[in-house]
Structure 1
Amino acid sequence: MESPDPRERLLQLAERRGASLSALSRLVGKNPSYLQQFVRKGSPRKLEEQDRATLARFFGVDEEQLGKSKDISSASNDPAPQTWIDVPRLMQGVSAGHGAMGEGEHAFDAVRFSARWLRSMGLEPRMLSAITVQGDSMEPTLRDGDEILVDRSLRPPRDGIHVVRLDDILLVKRLDMGRAGMVMLVSDNAAYRAIECRLDEVQVIGRVVWKGGRI
């Protein structure tokens, strides 16, 4: 089977992930126009090995889709291809306080997870994002500066900790779906009052499925 053109494939993967070429260029440590020139002008003629490997892990695909020559002799000896997945870290934070405005959803870095662990959690890598928590309203569960993994898979809203958008403000709150047509945005910190609103007033961005932070 003919290998896909790496430039076309890169554009397809970037569009599917919602990542700009400039953000992906920064991800591999290059200037913002690096991948734009690769795709539009054919310069460089092929991706550098390290850059190709980083992008392949980010998208969760084989490097051959981005231009790596197929090595038949080594393919059969590789017991665990695609062992790691790089989940994009978004520039914006989500408020666990009085509210923070979103500053654009551009990836500036990535957090690496075991592909096997993600599968065991029932998570689809392309639907995941990592975002930083801002504020103290979700303490002690989530603290200011914690990194959270958000699953953006489309599912009906349910109880649990989610990232939501309310009046163009991104919040991380615990959802209480106890009343029909309504939702309570609950803080784990008792100093903050719950916010009651209609379901059509809130956009559920995704469910928080993991956290990490300093000890």
Structure 2
Amino acid sequence: MDIDPIRLRLLELAEGRGVSLAKLSQMIGKNPSYLQQFVRKGSPRKLEEQDRGMLSRFFGVPESELGRSKEKSYISKEYERRRDWHDVPRLAIGASAGPGARSDDESAFDTIRFSARWLRSLGLQPDGLSIIVVTGDSMEPTLRDGDEILVDRGARAPRDGIHVVRLGETLLVKRLDTSRPGLLVLISDNAAYPPAECAVDEVDVVGRVVWKGGRI
């Protein structure tokens, strides 16, 4: 069957974000084949309002691009309120503040909403942000096991500060020391863990940690 513009737009958005229809289906609480059937088989005929809203917020596009009728697309106070917020994806991975965690699954399973004005005040681009959980104790007391961290993936140039880095297949959250030419020193805030020296080309900087949140 020919794919109508709404379904084609959903495919374009998914491909642009690098997320599968199966993962998107799970994100909105449906079975993995839900959006695949919507796109390929035309069933359901249209997205439910709640599902359409979650997807539009995840991609940062108006609901009209995913099928909301023009009659319902009027600008309201609620619409204006929602425009002032941005939903940042929570990824199903952990950055280790310990011996290291594999970075096998980087799919989004949920979102956390941030003020767009606050993000702009920090010079952050919403589309370049992700949230992941900290595992382990090597960054205590700055970051504790279970804390969630906001990672700016647009800040990938090595510089001093706390970053999420990939070392081989291991994802780590560490403080970087860039003072020695050709070397990156990965520093744990917990003095029980010694610094690790790595060649610059051995470390892939995923992004800079710009915020943390966690239970008291």
TM-score (norm 1): 0.92
CA–CA distance in 2 between the matches of 1:115 and 1:45? 33
Q: CA deviation at 1:75?
A: 2.0
TM-score (norm 2): 0.92
Please tell me whether residue 5 in structure 1 is matched to residue 5 in structure 2.
Answer: yes
Q: CA deviation at 1:154?
A: 5.2
Counterparts in 2 of 1:73 and 1:104: CA distance versus 1, 3 Å: closer
Question: What does residue range 1-215 of structure 1 map to in structure 2 within 5 Å?
Answer: 5-71=5-71, 74-75=74-75, 79-80=80-81, 82-153=83-154, 155-215=156-216
Partner SS, residue 15 of structure 1: helix
CA contact (8 A) 1:91 1:107 kept: yes
**How many residues are matched?**
212
Partner SS, residue 75 of structure 1: coil
CA–CA distance in 2 between the matches of 1:204 and 1:145? 21
CA–CA distance in 2 between the matches of 1:69 and 1:155? 40
Q: CA deviation at 1:80?
A: 4.2
RMSD over aligned Cα atoms: 1.8
Partner SS, residue 25 of structure 2: helix
CA contact (8 A) 2:164 2:208 kept: yes
CA–CA distance in 1 between the matches of 2:121 and 2:162? 20
Structure 1 unaligned runs (5+)?
none
CA–CA distance in 2 between the matches of 1:108 and 1:167? 24
CA–CA distance in 1 between the matches of 2:91 and 2:163? 16
Amino acid aligned to 1:183: L
Query: 192-201 or 75-84: which moved more?
Result: 75-84
1:33-69 residue CA offsets vs partner (Å, 9 max, x unmatched): 1111111111111111010011111111111111111
1:65-103 residue CA offsets vs partner (Å, 9 max, x unmatched): 111112488327654452322211111111001111123
